[in-house]
A and B are shown apart, each in its own frame.
Chain A
């Protein structure tokens, strides 16, 4: 016999997106932190590493983007 202790009204996909954004949030933070650190240590490398920073951010952001569309697709 199950007893309802707490009930939630609304759309569960909001929670799903929130969960899927945790990892990419940390990942994008690490990427830009590393880029800023690299630029601070060696300012002339800013143009060289900018591309890789965007590429790294885009790769980790992909997971959050999949989390964003999954609810739209699965409803």
Chain B
């Protein structure tokens, strides 16, 4: 709550345009962050840690179960001439192997492809749960999921870099830009350190989280708005179908966002891994 004071000079002829806080939001309750904290279904303590199994946890289990069922049944009876399901599974895997792994990392891609493919499909299935009826919230909209995946990626590419090049040469490659005048390092080393060591895992996690979080809230705002307008006694009821139409259009847009964010997360992981393999700058 703020008061923006726009005129500070003279007292005469200053008009007060203060908005009336009591006059709005009579019946309509806008969605809040509480959306993402559903009540726990059951809770337990393990080793002094409190666990809460909520709706979102169950949705994540369903997504993972669907992922396992799909790939297991695709690979169960692998033949030289693939069937329909095997073909679908193979094309999905090839999308990551060729489009991300081999294109970005190159000839050293082989050990990382299982990680990249798992990451992509885990994020994709979790994101898609944001628009599956009755689930309609993505586990990726909780910061814990993207944060942990970003942490895994961070540790992996740091580990690969240190293993391939040694601790100091690797960090030298990360923060020192070769071929610039010596005095420029005063400016460049802090920038490179911030962007390569600190900002990377942070933005990787926040990008996925923010997209899913905002996408869910967008759907909730338009659906609640449509439902609220529908029960209005006055003329504004005619705007209700418009709000629902936008909610449906946004649902389709969310499919695009879900796939795109999974792809972006995977391709950035691959880019960071490639830099570790090749040795920074």
Contact = CB atoms under 8 A, between A and B. Distances in A.
Contacts of A8: 2-4, 19
Contacts of B19: 7-9
B104 interface: yes
Contacts of B199: 62
Contacts of B2: 8, 12
B9 to A, nearest CB: 9
> Chain B interface residue count: which class?
20 to 34
Contact of B195 (A50, A59, A68): A59
A9 B103 contact: no
A3 B7 contact: yes
Contact of A51 (B14, B202, B210, B271): B271
Interface in A19-63: 47, 50-51, 54-55, 58-59, 61-62
A64 to B, nearest CB: 8
Contact of A54 (B6, B210, B267): B267
Nearest to A62: B203
Nearest to A64: B210
A69 B7 CA distance: 31
Interface in B175-219: 195, 199, 202-203, 206-207, 210
Given A7-B19, A8-B19, A2 B4 contact: no
Contacts of B4: 6-8
B31 to A, nearest CB: 14
B3 A51 contact: no
B5 A2 contact: yes
A12 B233 CA distance: 33
Contacts, number: 75
Contact of B203 (A4, A11, A51, A65): A65
Contact of B8 (A2, A6, A54, A62): A2
Nearest to B33: A72
A50 B264 CA distance: 11
Contacts of A5: 5-7, 14-17
B268 A55 contact: yes
Contacts of A65: 202-203, 206-207, 210
B83 to A, nearest CB: 29
A74 interface: no
B3 A54 contact: no
B18 interface: yes
A54 B206 CA distance: 16
Interface string B88-129: 000000000000000110000000000000000000000000
A68 B253 CA distance: 21
A54 to B, nearest CB: 5
Interface of A: 1-12, 47, 50-51, 54-55, 58-59, 61-62, 65-66, 68-69
22 contacts: A3-B7, A3-B14, A4-B3, A4-B5, A4-B14, A6-B18, A7-B3, A7-B17, A8-B3, A8-B19, A9-B21, A47-B103, A50-B103, A51-B270, A51-B271, A55-B271, A58-B207, A62-B203, A65-B206, A68-B206, A68-B210, A69-B210
Ranked nearest first, the 9 interchain pairs of A and B with the lowest CB-CB distance are: A7-B18, A5-B7, A62-B203, A5-B6, A3-B14, A65-B206, A6-B17, A7-B3, A12-B2
